[in-house]
Chains A and B, each alone.
Chain A
């Protein structure tokens, strides 16, 4: 996959890699030849001092590339050496820079050696152009750009680090330079590399860094001194095992960090860096001047042939023009002066080199053209992918939202049903209330009626009582009349006895019997009338009772 992303196929120039490797032996041969020629003129000849220098550094770094990894055995290291040497020859303006050993080692784990070379070429020459050169200008520019972006995105964090006197770039510098190798856990490194190689630019470096700051910013803000802050940031980055979260945060959360914007910021900051570089090399020169001859003598002590430093620097400048280098390399050529002078003295050799460099330049231009084409292709592909990706994420979001909406709808329906039920219950309640109200009113009315009835009955009762008392009076009158009649009858009986004493017993008996029989009758009649009334009143009072009840 990586090979396809970087465009190994498109870059590959058959035989180039082997030619580069062969050149080494050619050079060795040449050196031997020259040794013979040179021996007459100069001492200790070195045909190509730079690759020698790189060789030393490469040798030092071979065992320091993923130490202990099983793939980097004897053969693995040899492959790594060949790869790095070939690259140094392919692009002398970069040569070998530490960190490239890790990239090369990484590629060698995933692809054949020659493809790994082209992948390395793609990454270093194109995606990280100007990053690993002698001056590392782009690398410095990117750190300034990052600082800008961090200030914009995390103002609180930036303020805190300012107070502590920490520059985030102290930590992020190594992150960028090593493209997170050894800085993040392996899985995260590989996923970040996936994106970088796929996108073909450095935007992912920024996004990943911002994602890390996003994840760990809150913890950083609590730190109290510079050491704690840096240590924390380093250790947190090293323990970012959730690669998915990291990549997701980086790509989605910081999607708005775009290559174009970064490019603008880079343009803004590049002059600063270049100016600072020039300032420093000036400082360096003035320092040297100040220190005067002594320093110079020390630098060139071991080189008895350093007679013509002026020409030397000229040669350096020529070299610079061809290689596209700038200022500070002059210092490098000062240091390697001895060797360069040797070249100077060999005019023919120089011409050869110029020719070689021209050929190299043509190759590079060709390379660049094909690379540009490839870049365009990749960019369009990327745009498509991005839009697709966007579409995919959008549709995913839409689906999610729809699901949420339907859920809401369901709950809404539920709620509505509940509401309906509640309403019904309410209605029923109301109805019941109405019914009870009606019942109450009816009851009240009844009560009023009953009261009225009771009142009437009371009245009747009183009337009856009056009637009763009248009746009693009448009864008393009747009794008195009865007694009067009795007296009258008794008077009459006496009179009869006195006027007709015949059979007084019989008559008396008869008369006695008669009134005796009459009075009980009357009495019974009176009593029965009284009882009848009582019954009557009882019968009347009973309904009132029932009514009242």
Chain B
């Protein structure tokens, strides 16, 4: 039943401008890092085939523009997301403080059925910068925030060095699947019911 449709997972990456959303996505999908990324305008999009627990998924990753005003354009593709990745720069307190806004904005605009349990993943990026000396947000602080929002999984990453990127996205896939079981149980049920009805109908005719 599950193999009937190709499983698509939609992931949205949110966070302040310049925290490394595009870099993380490219590091994960293309295994490449460039110092010369352009500012993302509106949104960008990449897909990747992933294997998780012997099943194949197509991961659709939406990379968004960090500037606040672009949020008004986000409505269009926030909907239907399976997981939301929040990114901040461990060297920027402001990007950490804004996480609340990003999370709320997402919940308002995507309006998921169960906002309290919607899967988020937090990534503290750029841990490589200056050997960690320029760091202003401690791991403890980040974890405390995650705990206050319903135990959001947290990863400290470096898109530049590829640290924790693969692990983080594995977790993202896992969390995106959290919503899945309900859907899957629901879907075959309806199919079965319809099929059963049809069977009865045809036997009655004969």
- Chain A residues in the interface with B (C-beta under 8 A): 57, 60-61, 64-68, 97-99, 101-102, 132-136, 139-140, 143, 165, 167, 169-171, 173-174, 177-178, 182, 225-228, 230-231, 234, 276-277, 280, 283-284, 287, 291, 295, 298-299, 328, 332, 335
Can you offer 12 A-B residue contacts whose CB atoms are under 8 A? A67-B38, A98-B67, A134-B69, A136-B70, A170-B76, A173-B43, A173-B73, A226-B8, A230-B45, A231-B45, A231-B46, A280-B109
- Could you say which of B44, B67, B77 contacts A97, with CB atoms under 8 Å apart? B67
Knowing A98-B67, A98-B70 are in contact, say whether A60-B42 is a contact too (CB < 8 A): no
Check B73–A98 contact: CB distance below 8 A.
Answer: no
* Chain B residue, CB-CB nearest to A335: B101
Q: Interface 1/0s, chain B 39-55, versus A by CB < 8 A?
A: 11111111100000000
Interface string of B96-140 (1 = CB under 8 A from A): 000011001101110000000000000000000000000000000
Q: Are A60 and B72 in contact (CB under 8 A)?
A: no
> Shortest CB–CB separation between residue B40 and chain A, in angstroms?
8
Q: Which residue of B lies closest to A166 (CB)?
A: B77
**Residues of the A chain whose Cβ atoms lie less than 8 Å from the Cβ of B101:** 335
User: CB-CB < 8 A to B38: which residues of A?
Assistant: 64-67, 102, 182
Contact among B45, B46, B73 with A136 in the assembled complex (CB-CB below 8 Å):
B73
Write out the residue numbers on chain A whose beta carbons fall within 8 Å of the beta carbon of B100: 295, 298-299
Whether the Cβ atoms of A227 and B73 lie closer than 8 Å is no
Q: Are B108 and A280 in contact (CB under 8 A)?
A: yes
7 closest Cβ pairs, A-B complex: A174-B42, A67-B36, A227-B47, A178-B41, A60-B18, A64-B39, A99-B41
Decide if B26 is an interface residue (CB 8 Å cutoff): no
Which B residues are in CB contact (< 8 Å) with A332? Answer: 68
B70 and A167 form a contact (CB under 8 A): no
CB pair A136–B37 under 8 Å, yes or no, is: no
A165 to B46 Cα, complex, angstroms: 16
Shortest distance in angstroms between A7's beta carbon and chain B's nearest beta carbon? 26
- The answer to whether B72 and A234 touch across the interface, beta carbons within 8 angstroms, is no
B35 within 8 A of A: yes
Residues A101 and B43 in contact, CB atoms below 8 Å apart: no
Please, which residues of chain A bring their CB within 8 A of the CB of B105?
284
In the assembled complex, which residues on chain B have CB atoms less than 8 Å from the CB atom of A291?
Answer: 104
Q: Is B86 an interface residue (CB 8 A)?
A: no
Structural contact, A226 and B69, CB atoms closer than 8 A: no
A to B contact number (C-beta, < 8 Å):
110
Q: Are B8 and A67 in contact (CB under 8 A)?
A: no
A60 to B73, CA, bound (A): 21
Of B47, B72, B75, chain A has the most CB atoms within 10 Å of the CB of B72
CB distance from B142 to the nearest CB of A (A): 15
The complex places the Cα of A169 from the Cα of B75 at a distance, in Å, of 12
Chain B residues closer than 8 Å to A228, beta-carbon distance: 47
* Cβ–Cβ contact B37 & A64, under 8 A: yes
Chain B min CB distance to A223 (Å): 12
- Chain A binding surface SS class: helix
Query: How far apart sit A327 and B8, CA to CA, in the bound complex (Å)?
Result: 36
Partner of B60, one of A132, A143, A226: A226
A170 x B77 contact (CB < 8 A):
yes
- In the complex, A41 Cα to B101 Cα: how many Å? 30
Pairwise interchain contact B72-A136, C-beta atoms closer than 8 A? yes
> Which residue of chain B is the closest to A224 with respect to CB atoms?
B6
Task: Kindly provide the distance from the CB of A131 to the nearest chain B CB, expressed in whole angstroms.
Answer: 11
Contact A98 B58 (CB under 8 A): no
Q: Which of A64, A178, A277 contacts B72 (CB 8 A)?
A: A277
Instruction: Give the distance in Å from the alpha carbon of A178 to the alpha carbon of B42 in the complex.
Output: 8
- The answer to whether B67 touches A57, judged by C-beta atoms less than 8 angstroms apart, is yes
B164 within 8 A of A: no
Judge whether B60 and A135 touch: CB under 8 Å: no
A177 to B40, CA, bound (A): 11
Task: Indicate if B179 sits at the interface (CB-CB under 8 A).
Answer: no
**Segment 1-57 of B: residues with Cβ below 8 Å from A:** 6, 8, 17-18, 35-47
CA distance A60 to B21 in the complex (A): 14
What's the Cα separation between A280 and B71 when bound, in Å?
A: 11
Extra 12 A-B pairs, beta carbons < 8 Å, given A98-B40, A177-B42, A227-B45: A57-B67, A66-B38, A67-B37, A102-B39, A136-B70, A140-B72, A140-B73, A143-B73, A174-B44, A234-B45, A284-B104, A287-B107
Inter-chain contacts of A140 with B (CB < 8 A): 72-73
Q: Say whether B65 faces chain A, with CB atoms less than 8 Å apart.
A: yes
Contact B39 A65 (CB under 8 A): yes
Q: A66-B38, A67-B35 known; A225 and B69 CB under 8 Å?
A: no
Residues B58 and A173 in contact, CB atoms below 8 Å apart: no
CA distance A136 to B72 in the complex (A): 7
B6 touches A225 (CB 8 A): yes
**Complex interface: chain A residues within 8 A of B67 (CB):** 57, 97-98
B43 touches which one: A61, A165, A174, A328 (CB < 8 A)? A174
Interface-central residue, B68, B73, B101, by most chain A CB under 10 Å: B73
Q: Give the docked Cα–Cα distance between A328 and B75 (Å).
A: 15
Least Cβ–Cβ distance between B118 and chain A, in angstroms? 14
Chain B neighbourhood of A132, CB < 8 A:
69
Interchain nearest-CB distance for B105 vs A (Å): 8
A287 B35 Cβ-Cβ under 8 A: no
A167 close to B41 (CB less than 8 A): no
Q: Is the CB of A98 within 8 A of B43?
A: no
- Find out whether the CB atom of A227 lies under 8 angstroms from the CB atom of B60: yes
Interchain CA distance A57-B41 in the complex, whole Å = 13
Q: Which chain B residues lie closer than 8 Å to A60 at the CB level?
A: 17-18, 39
> Smallest distance from the beta carbon of A169 to chain B beta carbons, Å?
6
- Among the interface residues B18, B69, B80, B104, which one has the most CB atoms of the partner chain A within 10 A? B69
